[in-house]
């Protein structure tokens, strides 16, 4: 049985919490990295309308994650990565964001696995979810699944981003927020907020340096 788009928010937040726990614990960084290729990208939101509520770097021992596809489970390599929660004016989380660096020679395979994962959710979407939309902006491939209502429950949008030039994969769940502290009152307001976030991340990803090997 495939998980519905509307059921992804608890899993997304649980994964964020689990990652934070792993990063804080002694021994999780048993392997040291030689640099921080995603550091600049992880700080993309430091000076704008979207603020970082939490940021955790993946343990060096975490080399991949698994995603579901119609053909079964596929792996997405994680040579490095960050897990972040963003908010805007209120303290309620607005975006659950993953930034990942593909291992050398793995970007195209990772990008294919991510797209297949998005296609699976598109095929099993609910009545209030739109079909998968794929576009390219400034060299960044943008894969988007959006709800058509702000009261449909669960995450309102599920985005994946792929930048071949730097071998970077991004994943964002844009959350519905509790009504009392919500950053938007209408779908048009939500769509404007969502598009500003997506535009900001695309611009930052497009400025990433370095061409992946292989």
59-78 confidence digits (pLDDT tens): 999 999 999 999 999 999 99
Render pLDDT for 106-136 as a digit per residue (tens, 0 to 9).
Answer: 999 999 999 999 999 888 776 677 899 999 9
Residue 41, judged by CB atoms within 10 A of its CB (0-12, 13-18, 19+), counts as: buried
Render pLDDT for 13-25 as a digit per residue (tens, 0 to 9).
Answer: 344 444 443 334 3
Q: Please tell me the pTM assigned to this model.
A: 0.82
Indicate the pLDDT class of residue 5, thresholds 50, 70 and 90: low
d(CA 119, CA 69): 8
For residue 78, the SS3 value is coil
For residue 84, the SS3 value is strand
- 25-34, 97-106, 107-116: which range is least confident on average? 25-34
Domain limits, the chain? 5-28+37-206
Calculate the average pLDDT of the chain: 84
- Residue 37 phi/psi, 5-degree rounding, is -65, -20
Residue 111, judged by CB atoms within 10 A of its CB (0-12, 13-18, 19+), counts as: buried
If you average pLDDT over residues 126-153, what whole number do you get? Answer: 89
Cβ proximity of 129 and 82 under 8 Å: no
- Residue 50 phi/psi, 5-degree rounding, is -95, 130
If you average pLDDT over residues 158-164, what whole number do you get? Answer: 97
């Amino acid at each position: 049985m495939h998980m519905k788009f509307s059921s992804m928010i608890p899993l997304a937040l649980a994964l964020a919490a689990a990652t934070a726990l792993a990063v804080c614990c002694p021994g999780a960084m048993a392997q040291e990295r030689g640099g921080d290729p995603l550091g600049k990208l992880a700080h993309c939101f430091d000076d704008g309308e979207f603020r970082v509520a939490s940021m955790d770097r993946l343990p060096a021992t975490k080399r991949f994650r698994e995603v579901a596809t119609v053909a079964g489970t596929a792996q997405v390599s994680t040579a490095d990565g960050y897990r972040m929660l963003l908010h805007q004016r209120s303290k309620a989380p607005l975006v659950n964001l993953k930034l990942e660096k593909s291992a050398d020679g793995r970007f195209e395979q990772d990008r294919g696995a991510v797209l297949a994962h998005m296609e699976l959710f598109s095929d099993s979407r609910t009545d209030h979810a739109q079909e998968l939309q794929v576009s390219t902006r400034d060299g960044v491939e943008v894969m988007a699944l959006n709800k058509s209502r702000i009261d449909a429950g669960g995450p309102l949008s599920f985005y994946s981003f792929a930048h071949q030039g730097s071998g970077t994969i991004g994943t964002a769940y844009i959350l519905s927020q509790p009504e009392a502290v919500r950053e938007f009152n209408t779908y048009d307001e939500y769509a404007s907020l969502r598009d500003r976030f997506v535009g900001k991340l695309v611009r930052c990803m497009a400025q990433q340096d370095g061409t992946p090997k292989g």
